[in-house]
Structure 1
Amino acid sequence: MTAYLVALRAIVAREMLRFVHQRGRFVSALVRPLVWLLVFAAGFRAALGLSIIPPYQTYITYETYIVPGLCGMIMLFNGMQSSLSLVYDREMGSMRLLLTSPLPRWWLLVCRLIGATAISVAQVYAFLAIAALFGIRVPPVGYVAVLPALVVAGLMLSALGLALSSLIRQLENFAGVMNFVIFPMFFLSSALYPLWKMAESSRLLHDISVINPFTHAVELIRFALHASWNGAALLWVLLSLVAFMALALWGYDPGRGMMWRKG
C-alpha cells in the first residue's frame, strides 16, 4: 500500500508542478470561458429566451445559465490537454518507462487521471471566483456542494482523454482527434442552450445531445451549484467514466491494446 501511495503522490505532484510551470496553460484555460461569458453571452442574451427550468426557481440571466457549461468546458479542454501531454510523454519515452514499473498498469493510469482531475477542479474554482467578481454568483453552499460533481465530471472527461491517447500513436494526429471530439461534445450539449430549445429546431440534434455524456456532466454541475440532486446525470456520468476507463485500460494493455501494435 505504501508503494501505491508513493506512486500516487509522485505522479500527482509531477502533474501539478508541470501545470504550475506552464502559466500560459492556466491563462488560456480561463480566457476561453471568460470570452464566452463576457462577449458571446452579451449577444446570445437577446437572441435566446430562457424559461424556468430545474434547478432554477425563477428566471435567470443567460450568463448565469452558461456558467456550469463553461465549467464543463474547462474540464473538457483540460482533459484533452492532459491526454496530449500523455501522448508526448509516451513518444519521449518517460511514459513507457513508467508503465514498466512493478505497480499495476491500471493504478498508474488512475494516478494520472487523479492528477488531471485535480488540475481541472482548481481551474474551475478560479473561473468561478472571477465570474463572481463580475456579479455572476451562485448560492454560497453551491461552491461546496459542487466539489463532488466537479471531481466525478473531471474524472469522466479525463478518462475520455486517456482513452483517446491510448488509441493514437503519433502526436501529430492528436490535435485533429481533439477537435473532432471536443467541439461536437461541447456544442451538442446543454452547455450553451437548454435542450428544449434545441428540440424546437432539430429533434435529431436534441436526441444526440441527450445521450452525450458531456450534457450530463454539465447538468450534474448545474444542479450541484444550486445544492440540488440530479441522480440521472450522476448515473450517466459514472457509467461513462467506467466505459472510458475500461477503454483506456484496454488500449494500454500491451497484449491487446492498439497503442503497442506494430505495422
Structure 2
Amino acid sequence: MTPYLTVLVAIITREALRFVHQRERFIAALVRPLVWLLVFAAGFRAALGLSIIAPYKTYITYETYIVPGLCGMIMLFNGMQSSLSLVYDREMGSMKLLLTSPLPRWWLLICKLLGATAISILQVYAFLIIAALFGIKMPVAGYVTVFPALIVAGVMLGALGLLLSSFIKQLENFAGVMNFVIFPMFFMSSALYPLWKMAESSELLYTICAINPFTHAIELIRFALYLEFNGMALVWTVLAGVVFTVAALWGYNPARSGIRRKG
C-alpha cells in the first residue's frame, strides 16, 4: 500500500499548496456565503416565517436556518473549482504526466477527489467560525459530529464536479456548465427554504427539491450540526456520490476520454 499512500499524500499536498497560493479563492469562498448570511438573510428574516421543524427544538432565526445550506454552497462551489483545475491540467498537459503513473487511474482520480474534499471541509469550518463570531452558533458538539457529514457531502459534490470535468474539454465551456448545474442545484434545494415552503408554492418544485441530491447533502449536514442522525439523507447522499464517482471514472476511461497512457 506504500505507493498508493504516497500518491494520496502527494496529490492532497499539491491541492493544499495550490489552495494556499490562491488566497483569492479562499476569500471568495467565504465572501459568497457571508453575503447571503449577513445581507440577504437580514432582508428575508421579516418576510419568511419558519415553523419548528426537525432538527430544531424551537423557533430559529432565518440566519440560523441557512447556515447548513451555505456550508453546502461552499462545498458545491469548491467541488466545481477543483474540477476546473482538472480541465486546466488537461489543457496544459500536466494531467497526461500524472496519468503515466503505474498506479490505476481510478486511484489517481479518487486521490484528487479526496484532496478537494479536504479543502472544502477546511473552508466550511472557517465559515462556521466566522458565523459564530457574528452570533450564529451551533451546539459545541455539533462542530465535531458534523465532520463525517461534511466528508460524505464533500465527496458527493466533488464527484459531481469530477464527472462534469470528464466531459468538458475546454476551459471556455466550463463556466457555462457550472452555472447550468450550480444555480439550479442550489436554489432548488432546502438550502434557503424548508421543503414545506416549496410545497406551498408548487408541488412540482417540491418534488424536484426532494429528489435533488444537494438537498439531502444539506439535510445531512443540518441534522449533524444538531447532534441528530438523518438516515434517509445519508443513504441518498452516499448513493448519489457512488453514482457520480462511477460515472466520472467511466468518463475518464482511456477508451473514451482520449487521455491515454504513454507506454
| Cα deviation, residue 259, structure 1 | 6.8
Partners of 2:152 and 2:65 in 1: CA distance:
21
Change (3 A) 1:258 1:76: farther
Distance 2:236 2:99 in 1: 30
Contact 1:167–1:259, Cα closer than 8 Å, also in 2: no
Is 1:232 aligned to residue 232 of structure 2? yes
Helix, strand or coil for the counterpart of 2:193? Answer: coil
Amino acid at match of 1:236: W
The corresponding residue for 2:29 is 29
Q: Per the alignment, do residues 167 and 143 of structure 1 end up closer, same or farther by CA in structure 2, a change over 3 Å counting? A: same
Q: Given residue 114 of structure 1, which amino acid in structure 2 is its aligned partner? A: L
- Structure 1 segment 44-59 matched on structure 2, within 5 A: 44-59=44-59
Decide whether the 8 Å contact of 2:96 with 2:259 is kept in 1: no
Q: How does 1:213-228 map to 2 (within 5 A)?
A: 213-228=213-228
Structure 1: state its 5+ residue gaps.
none
The superposition leaves residues 102-135 of structure 1 with CA deviations (integer Å, 9 ceiling, x where unpaired) of: 1000000000001000000000000000000000
Q: Secondary structure at the match of 1:140?
A: coil
Counterpart residue type for residue 238 of structure 2: L
Looking at structure 2, the residues matched to 226 and 258 of structure 1 have their Cα atoms a distance apart, in angstroms, of: 46
Question: What is the rounded CA distance, in whole Å, between the counterparts of 2:84 and 2:239 in structure 1?
Answer: 24
1:173 equivalenced with 2:173 (yes/no): yes
Q: Any runs of at least 4 consecutive aligned residues in structure 1 with deviations exceeding 2 A, and if so which?
A: 256-260
**Cα separation, 1, equivalents of 2:96 and 2:125:** 33
2: CA distance, partners of 1:96 / 1:90: 7
Q: Deviations over 1:134-161 (max 9, x none)?
A: 0000000000000000010000000000
CA separation in 2, counterparts of 1:111 and 1:138? 31
Task: Indicate whether 1:8 and 2:8 are aligned.
Answer: yes
Shift of 1:255: 1.1
Deviation string, structure 1 residues 218-254 (Cα, Å, up to 9, x no partner): 0000000001000000000000000000110000001
Question: Hey, what does 1:145 align to over in structure 2?
Answer: 145
Task: Provide the identity percentage.
Answer: 78
What TM-score do the two structures reach when normalised by structure 1? 0.97
Letter matched to residue 158 of structure 1 = G
CA distance in 2, matches of 1:228, 1:258: 45
Q: Which amino acid aligns with 1:197?
A: K
Q: Which residue of 1 aligns with 2:43?
A: 43
How far is the alpha carbon of 1:4 from its aligned partner?
0.4
Q: Which residue of 1 aligns with 2:82?
A: 82
State the partner residue of 1:164: 164
CA root-mean-square deviation: 0.9
1:101, CA displacement in angstroms?
1.1
Counterpart of 1:192?
A: 192
Asked whether the equivalents of residues 69 and 191 of structure 2 are also in contact (C-alpha less than 8 Å), the reply is yes
Asked whether the equivalents of residues 156 and 238 of structure 1 are also in contact (C-alpha less than 8 Å), the reply is yes
In structure 1, what is the equivalent of residue 212 of structure 2? 212
1:256 shift after superposition: 3.2
Q: In 2, distance between residues paired with 1:35 and 1:258?
A: 41
Q: CA deviation at 1:53?
A: 0.4
Shift in CA distance, 258/251, structure 1 to aligned 2, threshold 3 Å? farther
For 1:188 and 1:142, locate their aligned partners in 2 and report how far apart those are by CA, in whole Å: 26
Structure 2: which 5+ runs fail to align? none
Cα gap change, 1:123 to 1:77, in 2 (>3 Å): same
